[in-house]
Amino acid sequence: DQQVKQNSPSLSVQEGRISILNCDYTNSMFDYFLWYKKYPAEGPTFLISISSIKDKNEDGRFTVFLNKSAKHLSLHIVPSQPGDSAVYFCAASLSGSARQLTFGSGTQLTVLP
Amino acid sequence: SQTIHQWPATLVQPVGSPLSLECTVEGTSNPNLYWYRQAAGRGLQLLFYSVGIGQISSEVPQNLSASRPQDRQFILSSKKLLLSDSGFYLCAWRGDSDTEAFFGQGTRLTVV
């Protein structure tokens, strides 16, 4: 059973427009959510995160929104740039000593020039 | 600053051969360590995690094993590789007070 789902395997956006990447989760005990960006043949790099006590976190062009009642989070990139083209993974974690991350299946974002 | 090293970057192994992937972390003590796998076209699947030396937790039954012989060393092994073991293997670490995990560059394993 997938606890974290990214239902869109791919997304294409024009340069300068907004990219919206979506993620749903099923485990209401998750208390921290993260977005990672991954280029081919590289490890994922951390992008932005949000605690379950917040509903929005912003860092430059990146904003993450959390809707706990809907068990849904989204990543907004404004404005989108060609260098943003990558696979984006959302992840969730539970409190505990290991705090391992549960990842979604990823969304390939392509920003068209 | 902390760094994570993972090697080799690519590996081609025949079916039935053994496997040993190594991951080391520098600049931190007692990190939580993780092995993930990304199969072709799929997300990141947690394979093993470790909160200390000799402490290994397995998330999924499989043909692989993990060991943590030293505080900052995490090893992924197999005695006999299967075709289905092909994938992109990622090591990651996180400090107790950190919320995000930091990943190595990954190992592309192809079993032929």
Where does A5-71 have alpha helices with state H? none
pLDDT at residue A9 greater than cutoff 90:
yes
The pLDDT value recorded for residue B41 is 66
pLDDT at residue B75 greater than cutoff 80:
yes
Note the pLDDT tens digit of each residue in B42-51. 789 999 999 9
Question: Is there a contact between B43 and A42 if contact means CB atoms under 8 Å apart?
Answer: no
* Chain A: residue whose CA lies nearest to B59: A100
Structure-model confidence comparison of residues A2 and B70, the more confident one: B70
The pLDDT value recorded for residue A1 is 67
- Chain B residues in contact with A107 by the CB 8 A cut-off are none
Q: How far apart are CA A12 and CA A112, in angstroms?
A: 7
pLDDT at residue B76 greater than cutoff 90:
yes
Tokens of B41: 């076209």
Note the pLDDT tens digit of each residue in B9-41. 999 999 999 999 999 999 988 899 999 999 766
Rounded to the nearest 5 degrees, what angle is found at the Cα of A49, between the Cα atoms of B99 and B41?
A: 95
The mean pLDDT of chain A is 94
Buried b (16+ CB within 10 A) or exposed e, A69-96: eebebbbbbeebeeebbbbbbbbbbeee
pLDDT tier, A95 (very low <50, low <70, confident <90, very high otherwise)? confident
pLDDT at residue A97 greater than cutoff 60:
no
Question: Is there a contact between B34 and A41 if contact means CB atoms under 8 Å apart?
Answer: no
Note the pLDDT tens digit of each residue in A35-78. 999 998 899 999 999 999 999 999 999 999 999 999 999 999 99
- CA neighbor of B103 nearest in space, from A39, A32, A106: A39
3-state secondary structure (DSSP) of residue B25: strand
The predicted model gives A87-93 an average pLDDT of 95
Question: Is there a contact between A103 and B45 if contact means CB atoms under 8 Å apart?
Answer: yes
